[in-house]
Amino acid sequence: MEFMIPALTVPSVPVHGHGARFPVHRIYCIGRNYAEHAKEMGASVDRGNPTFFSKPADAIVTDDADARYPGMTSNLHHEVEMVLALRGGGRDIPVGHALETVFGYAVGLDLTRRDLQSAAKAAGMPWDTGKGFDDSAPVSAIRPAAEIGHPSSAHLSLEVDGVLRQQADIAQMVFSPAEIVAELSRYYELKAGDLIFTGTPAGVAPLVRGNRFVARLEGIAELSGRIV
pLDDT in tens, 64-80: 999 999 999 999 999 99
pLDDT value at residue 34: 94
Strand partners, 27: 55, 195
pLDDT at 197 over 90: yes
Q: Report d(CA 134, CA 165) in Å as an integer.
A: 23
pLDDT value at residue 44: 75
pLDDT value at residue 151: 98
Give phi and psi for 10, each to the nearest 5: -75, 125
Report CA-CA distances (Å) from 193 to 24, 144, 147. Answer: 5, 13, 18
pLDDT value at residue 18: 97
Q: pTM for the full model?
A: 0.97
Domain 12-226 has CATH 2.30.30.110: no
Half-sphere exposure of 61 (CA within 13 A, CB side): 22
Average pLDDT over residues 105-120: 98
Q: Report d(CA 109, CA 26) in Å as an integer.
A: 16
User: What's the burial of 158, exposed, middle or buried (CB within 10 Å: 0-12/13-18/19+)?
Assistant: buried
Question: Is there a contact between 220 and 151 (Cβ–Cβ < 8 Å)?
Answer: yes
Q: What's the DSSP call for residue 101? A: G
Contacts of 75 (CB under 8 A, 6+ apart): 113, 114, 115, 206
Length of the chain counted residue by residue: 228
Residues 14-66 pLDDT 10s = 999 999 999 999 999 999 999 888 788 777 777 888 999 999 999 999 999 99
Q: What's the DSSP call for residue 223? A: E
Report CA-CA distances (Å) from 171 to 61, 102, 202. Answer: 26, 17, 14
Question: Could you count the other beta carbons within 10 Å of the beta carbon of residue 89?
Answer: 19
Average pLDDT over residues 79-106: 98
